[in-house]
Amino acid sequence: MAVGANEVKELRARTGAGIMDCKNALKEAGGDIDKAIDFLRTKGLAKAAKKAGRIASQGLVSSYIHAGGKIGVLVEINCETDFVAKTDDFKQFVKDIAMHVAASSPQYIKREDVPEAIAEKEKKIYETQARESGKPEKIIDRIVSGKIDKFLSEICLLEQPFIKDPDKTIQALLQETIAKLGENIAIRRFVRYQLSEGLEESSEG
């Protein structure tokens, strides 16, 4: 199959692999970029994946205040060297992540961080909903699995669509930045504050 220049460009940005390697991977994957990334990783050609095992102990802690002081975010993002931490590209990435957290309100960084009890609670709710709506028993597991997958993708930062470019996920943005800067980068932690969150409205007077 013919491989488009845009697909090759995106794959290179996300993996740091060479042009011919990207073309071959896309051909093997039938044009599917995510499958092409997996192909490159199995061949050891995805530079971003290689860098993922390296220790990232430098970086930045940054803040973002939004909506007239009603929402505030703190993020810690790590890289390998202080040199990269001071680059404009890294600073922009940190700023983008803080802004995204303010706008999209993720609860966890990745699926592995979600407590099992939370996923189980959602699963029971979806099972009850499916049964009460009269769905056949044989397809309930499939329905619940799909809803759990959607739930996790919505609350995990890395799987959310990037607010400035919804065609890519935060994971894709992270991989692009790793490939561009040549170092492992890790979103270590974040906290999001929203004014009066968790407080009950008082009804005085």
Nearest to 98, CA basis, from 68, 67, 61, 69: 61
Q: What global pTM score does this model have?
A: 0.70
126 contacts 67 by C-beta, under 8 angstroms: no
Higher-confidence position of 33 and 79: 79
Under the banding of pLDDT at 50, 70 and 90, the label for residue 45 is low
Q: What is the mean pLDDT of the chain?
A: 87
Structural domain of 167: 58-106+161-194
Q: Are residues 23 and 94 in the same domain?
A: no
- SS3 assignment, position 188: strand
Q: What is the pLDDT of residue 117?
A: 94
Q: Are residues 99 and 173 in the same domain?
A: yes
- 200 occurs within a structural domain: no
The pLDDT tens digits for 66-93 are 878 999 999 999 999 999 999 999 999 9
79 contacts 85 by C-beta, under 8 angstroms: yes
Q: Are residues 165 and 65 in the same domain?
A: yes
Mean pLDDT, rounded, for 111-127? 92
Q: What is the pLDDT of residue 34?
A: 85
